[in-house]
Each structure stands twice: as C-alpha cells, then as structure tokens.
Amino acid sequence: MTKAIYPGSFDPVTFGHLDIIERASKVVDHLIVGVLNNSAKHPLFSVEERVVMLQEVTSHLPNVEIQSFGGLLVDFAKQCDASVIVRGLRAITDFEYELQMSQTNRKIAPDIDTIFLTTNLKYAYLSSSIVKEVAMYDGAIDEFVPAAMIPYIREKMKEKVKKY
Ligand code: COA
C-alpha cells in the first residue's frame, strides 16, 4: 500500500490545493494531508481551524486523511509510515525551492521520495496570500476557494478588522 503525505500551510486551503489533493488521492492508496503547525509563519487560521477546513473540503475523498504536524516533515512521514511526499508545482519560480527541499529531505531520509504534480493551469496564479489579500478588502474570493470556506474566511477577516 502506497501512503503519501501532502504537506503545507493551507492558510487557507484553495482550489489549487484541492486540485492537488484530488489528483494525488487517485495515484496513491492513502493520502495524508499534513498541516504545518508553524507559529513562525503567523498564520491567519490556527492549525486546528485549518484541519477542520481541510476535513470539510475533502469529505468526498475516502482515502484522504487530515493531520497536523510540527518539526521535520520527514519525521512526520516516518511516523505515518509514508514513503512518498507530494508537492504541487505552479510555475518555474516554485521549482528552485521545491528542488532544494526535496533534495534536503532525501539526504535526511533516503527512503522517502518526493513526487511533483503540476498545478492545473486554471490555478497556477493562486496562493493563500492572494486569497487573504483580496478577502481583506472584501473582494470576491469564490474563484479561489471552495464555497464552504468563504464563511470561515469572512468571519476571520471581521475578527481581524475588529482588532485594529
Ligand atoms: N495551488 C495554490 N497554491 C499553492 C499550491 C497550489 N497547488 N501549492 C502551494 N501553494 C501556495 C500556498 O498557498 C502558499 O502560499 P502563501 O505563501 O501565499 O501562503 C505557498 O504556495 C507555499 O505554501 P505551502 O505549500 O504551504 O508551503 P510552505 O512553504 O508553507 O510549507 C512545507 C512547505 C510544509 C513542505 C515545509 O515548510 C516543511 O516541510 N516544513 C517542515 C520543516 C522541515 O521539514 N523542513 C525541512 C524541509 S527542507
């Protein structure tokens, strides 16, 4: 059985991430979406919120599981008994960083390989930061994130505005 990890911050999950999750779930037996718990990144959503949001948008995929993790990705992969890491490549600008990460991970854990899926062209421009930027100014985000995510994002933006 091939178990893979698709790691990321998912702050918040976008159509681009969901596209990679759906496609990766077809090529491996079991896919664990690993939500990075990294306070250094100052995420908009807590790791618990990101896990719930991902669970909601992947509920139609029976072989997909959502888990949070901290520390090294390869340690998390070993802990989950996963031998593959999945990453999406949007553009050539992603490549250098992804190459460096995958080579570092292989150096530390030679038994774990990274596979890359090229992002659907429709979502090649998309990032979580773009979603947050547009949402902050109350712009339409329905082209960027699944409909179920919109109330979460709107609510969070309201909380943020109240704070300042
Ligand atoms: N569609 C849309 N957007 C995408 C995307 C896709 N297919 N793939 C990535 N993105 C966006 C994300 O939304 C994010 O946007 P943002 O910067 O605006 O928030 C950006 O690309 C990068 O995000 P992500 O995929 O979440 O990567 P990351 O850099 O936050 O985290 C980890 C990458 C989790 C794999 C890496 O940090 C890690 O492994 N950390 C654990 C520590 C470790 O092991 N380090 C050693 C590795 S060398």
User: Which residues contact residue 143 at a Cβ distance below 8 angstroms, ignoring those fewer than 6 apart?
Assistant: 15
Residue 9 CA, closest ligand 1 atom number: 26
77 lines ligand 1 (CB under 6 A): no
Distance 87 CA to ligand 1 centre (A): 8
* pLDDT of the residue at 110: 98
Can you give the three-state secondary structure of the chain, one letter per residue? CCEEEEEECCCCCCHHHHHHHHHHHHHCCEEEEEEECCHHHCCCCCHHHHHHHHHHHCCCCCCEEEEEECCCHHHHHHHHCCCEEEEEECCHHHHHHHHHHHHHHHHHCCCCEEEEEECCHHHCCCCHHHHHHHHHCCCCCCCCCCHHHHHHHHHHHHHHHHHC
* pLDDT of the residue at 41: 78
* pLDDT of the residue at 164: 60
* pLDDT of the residue at 3: 98
Q: List 85's β-bridge partners, or say none.
A: 5, 114
Distance 60 CA to ligand 1 centre (A): 24
* pLDDT of the residue at 92: 86
Residue listed under structure tokens 């390989």? 113
90 lines ligand 1 (CB under 6 A): yes
Q: Is 132 a catalytic residue?
A: no
* pLDDT of the residue at 34: 98
Along the 164 residues of the chain, how does pLDDT read in single tens digits? 999 999 999 999 999 999 999 999 999 999 999 999 987 778 999 999 999 999 999 999 999 999 999 999 999 999 999 999 999 999 888 999 999 999 999 999 999 999 999 999 999 999 999 999 999 999 999 999 999 999 999 999 988 877 66
Q: How far apart are CA 120 and CA 111, in angstroms?
A: 28
* pLDDT of the residue at 40: 78
